[in-house]
Amino acid sequence: MTDTAILTSSEIGMLRIYMMPRDTAEPRKAWKLWSARPLYRELVVQAKAAGLMNAVAHHTHYGFSNHGPVLDQGAETSNPYLTMCVELIGHRADLELFCQRHAALLETKVVIYKQLEHWSIEAPARPHPESKA
């Protein structure tokens, strides 16, 4: 018996999509102003439907994107112009397909791809208490 865990690595990718929290998945129209789903939520829902491994939305407190001005979070209210990020993790081919299918939503966004390594960890087998002699 070994006390060492088994570590297996595989290649995987991460997309970071930068946007403003106020960006919507549909064009802004006066009659849909308050009912349009935020783009970051739509991307997470679509990533789940596409079978990607992970999708999360990160709000920021301070920064800029796409050569815009430096912005910060307001003291009492959130800033709808402050950059946020949706992070998607999956195989490169799946991430490429996701971008192709959602090109209309992503064409004006900053999209970054990074190659990562995914680790699967298998804990060492533990003997049952009854098997002690």
Strands (E), the chain: 6-19, 54-59, 62-63, 71-72, 84-90, 110-122
Distance separating alpha carbons of residues 26 and 102, to the nearest angstrom: 12
Mean pLDDT along residues 101-126: 93
Predicted confidence (pLDDT) at residue 27 exceeds the cutoff of 70: no
How would residue 2 be classed by pLDDT, with cut points 50, 70 and 90?
low
Both tokens of residue 27? 């064009």
Could you report the per-residue pLDDT of 76-111, keeping only the tens digit for each?
777 888 889 999 999 999 999 999 999 999 999 999
Domains along the sequence of the chain with CATH = 9-120 (3.30.70.120)
Q: How far apart are CA 16 and CA 33, in angstroms?
A: 26
Does 57 score more than 70 pLDDT? yes
* pLDDT at residue 108 in the model: 93
